[in-house]
Structure 1
Amino acid sequence: MSRPAVGLEAIVAHAIGLRRDLHRHPELMYREERTAAVVRAELDALGIAWRACAGTGTVARLGPESGRHIALRADLDALPLSESTGLPWSSAHPGVMHACGHDGHTATLIGAAAWLKAHESALPGPVTLLFQPAEEGGHGARKMIDGGALDGIDEIYGYHNWPPIPFGFAAAPAGPVMAANGEWRATIVGRGGHAAQPHLCIDPVVAGANFVQLVQQVVSRQIAAHLAAVVTVTCFHAGTADNIIPDSAELVGTVRAATTELRDDLARRTEIALHAACAPSGARGTFAYAPCYPATVNDARCAAKAAAALARVIGPERLAHDGLPLMGAEDFAYY
């Protein structure tokens, strides 16, 4: 391992190279073995003590023993997507890509670690660095907490890159910042038969189409306009041939909202829409709902401190809170 960079310009250059290396070698949740090894080698080079947590996660600490204890968090895992950018550092692993930017989160936290280590004697309190696995649906934050990652921590901060925010701008709002999300699966059972005799069948495709239309009214006609909420149908599977009405159809989707309570209410209303869509034909609908992450809600005092720090660096005119809360979800909510 090369000697760690200490000047800010050198730290940034090293972080860029590190990010490109991580981007080229993405790993799915709970399989971040190489990524964990890279993080731990970087910490060793900086002389920062660390311990493993939640398998491929890492908890590191520096600074004095006393004082207000701050934690900084990055996530490690990639997504099961194929990359087609053609960039020199594009993914070397077919079907796996850092499409959510966790490579950048990890590299910038290593950069922050280098800067903090270079100024360790000036730190007013201890700093813990959390390199967390399995943010992409694996509840890695919860496993880190179960592993003691938050023990003794007074405040924790993280960030999520968001390309729609203009370059050089940032947001640190108080209150809800990212959505609570959940997944649902609707199964419609009818009675199949020949497509030439639909009157002898109970068509689950028609019931499913009615459901897709009805569920669009959940947000537009049942939720107050000032509340951030989304219901989306993402899959519709039915049938095997052009002349056969199938026995069943399956639809899959997501509910998302700025509060965990509203997310669950959206799921309840989506189930009602399913049964309403099935009723005219006599089809039977079953609904399975799996809540995922709760809403990410920024503590007002911590958000104000983060916004003030950002304003000092990039200027208050570059704090952009439009379009928030995001309807993407984050397991930082557990912290």
Structure 2
Amino acid sequence: MPTQWQDIMTSATALRRELHQHPELGWQEVRTAERIRTTLSSLNIPWRACAGTGTLAWLNRNSSGRHLALRGDIDALPIQEKTASDWASRNDGCMHACGHDGHTATLLASAQWLKLHEAQLPGPLTLIFQPAEEGGHGAREMIRDGALDGVDEIYGWHNWPAIPFGKLVCPDDIVMCGNGIFTITVNGEGGHASQPELCRDPVLAASAITLALQQIISRRLPPQRAAVLSVTSIEAPSAATVIPAQARLGGSIRIPDEESRKHLNQLIIEIASQTAQSYGVSCEVDIEPRYQATINHPQPAQRLRKLWQQLHGEQALAKDIAVPIMASEDFSYYLREIPGAFALIGADDGRNHSKPCHSAHYDFNDRLIPMVSRLYAGLAGLTTDSSN
């Protein structure tokens, strides 16, 4: 059996690198979905398409025991890869910069191992291969198409380069923040750069709005409340001698709860509008809510932590990592529907795996595949020594 286990892990690593070479953006994961489905079929695991490029698969489907679900996300990001790896992206401007290739390969490796021991599973198991996690609300659409039908409990994970390798973060409550994006369009009066008095400069106003927004967190919210507001872009295309008529700001917020979201959104509108008025221009504020906070359920979180420690030792929990992590996850949709837990697992082993997610230099740490596959096997109800 050890050889069989190792063969599966070796194959999963090769698959991960293949997926990395062929990344696809959210709702465009046609090749990725085909690769997943072909693999499931070769393993004689039943599956169906879900929400387009998503896939549901089942093990021990007709059992009457507690029904668990395991999730892996499959989409990539619009980033030009700058690694020099042999498996670097072949798709220009698209990259698996968040490790979803690794999450997918890990779930497929787990599926293969669990299929070999299907008769030992204590209950049904749903495998969720989810598209469009990166802002596309893929989890929401998977749920609408029946991904959680009959499921009692769900688990998921994310690799995290900012955490030491193999250390796990899985609190009993909030693990990752909610998020939203905003666009502020500043409308002024353009003209010649030599005659600013005849213009109403939207660039100057946009600069002032940017500075004013940065003071919301430090001066308008309690210091105990975890929140982030980042202005991430300013656009005001023009010629060197022309004051443009319009400027546009874009940015992102991170919030721990919906009360904080409401408060922060109101302040963005208020401060942007009043600052614009003071500069003699007007503005339009568009705010798009994305994901709510990812909030674990205590019992599943405790189960996951205990199993991780059984596998990797009492010291395997990252107790000095501040939570919530300010990034966001659409796994929050699942946890709003049924009990479950989501874990962050450290990827930084000192071997070029410290680059953050969403970096053009990021690469998934393949050493996590067998570790998380053992975790998934344990959560599914197999004794962990069977995968050693």
- Range of TM-score over shorter length: over 0.9
Q: Which of residues 47, 51, 64 in structure 2 aligns to 1:54?
A: 51
Change (3 A) 1:6 1:156: farther
8 Å contact from structure 1 (residues 239, 245) kept in 2 = no
Which residue number in structure 2 is paired with residue 119 of structure 1?
117
Secondary structure, counterpart of 2:235 in structure 1: strand
Q: Which of residues 74, 77, 80 in structure 2 aligns to 1:76?
A: 74
Partner letter of residue 70 of structure 2? L
Which residue number in structure 2 is paired with residue 213 of structure 1?
211
Is 1:156 paired with 2:180? no
Which residue number in structure 1 is paired with residue 90 of structure 2?
92
Which residue number in structure 1 is paired with residue 190 of structure 2?
192
Which residue number in structure 2 is paired with residue 131 of structure 1?
129
- Distance in 1, Cα, partners of 2:94 & 2:279: 43
Q: How far off its partner does 1:239 sit?
A: 4.4
Which residue number in structure 1 is paired with residue 140 of structure 2?
142
Secondary structure, counterpart of 1:121 in structure 2: helix
> Could you tell me the TM-score, scaled by structure 2's length?
0.82
Between stretches 66-75 and 275-284, larger displacement belongs to 275-284
Which residue number in structure 1 is paired with residue 227 of structure 2?
229
Partner letter of residue 323 of structure 2? L
Change (3 A) 1:205 1:132: same
> For 1:228-269, what per-residue CA distance to the aligned partner results, in whole angstroms no more than 9, with x for missing partners?
111111111124122222222111111111223312321221
Which residue number in structure 2 is paired with residue 325 of structure 1?
324
- Distance in 1, Cα, partners of 2:187 & 2:242: 15
- Distance in 1, Cα, partners of 2:135 & 2:3: 36
Secondary structure, counterpart of 1:274 in structure 2: helix
Secondary structure, counterpart of 2:163 in structure 1: coil
> For 1:62-115, what per-residue CA distance to the aligned partner results, in whole angstroms no more than 9, with x for missing partners?
125111100000011111111121211111111111011100000000111122
Secondary structure, counterpart of 2:169 in structure 1: coil
8 Å contact from structure 1 (residues 177, 258) kept in 2 = no
Aligned alpha-carbon RMSD (Å) = 1.7
Which structure has more relative contact order (CA 8 Å, sep 6+)? It is 2
Q: Percent identity?
A: 48
> For 1:25-62, what per-residue CA distance to the aligned partner results, in whole angstroms no more than 9, with x for missing partners?
11111221211111112212222111111111111111
- Distance in 2, Cα, partners of 1:25 & 1:8: 26
How is 1:275-294 mapped onto 2 (pairs within 5 angstroms)? 275-294=273-292
8 Å contact from structure 1 (residues 307, 319) kept in 2 = yes
Is 1:36 paired with 2:40? no
How is 1:169-188 mapped onto 2 (pairs within 5 angstroms)? 169-188=167-186
- Distance in 2, Cα, partners of 1:191 & 1:162: 46
Q: Which of residues 245, 250, 261 in structure 1 aligns to 2:248?
A: 250
- Distance in 2, Cα, partners of 1:264 & 1:13: 48
Secondary structure, counterpart of 2:205 in structure 1: helix
Q: How far off its partner does 1:281 sit?
A: 2.3
- Distance in 2, Cα, partners of 1:160 & 1:263: 24
- Distance in 2, Cα, partners of 1:240 & 1:247: 9
Q: How far off its partner does 1:310 sit?
A: 0.8
Secondary structure, counterpart of 1:231 in structure 2: strand
Q: How far off its partner does 1:184 sit?
A: 0.7
Q: How far off its partner does 1:6 sit?
A: 7.6
- Distance in 1, Cα, partners of 2:29 & 2:244: 42
Paired residues, number = 332
- Distance in 2, Cα, partners of 1:59 & 1:239: 46
- Distance in 1, Cα, partners of 2:45 & 2:279: 66
Secondary structure, counterpart of 2:249 in structure 1: strand
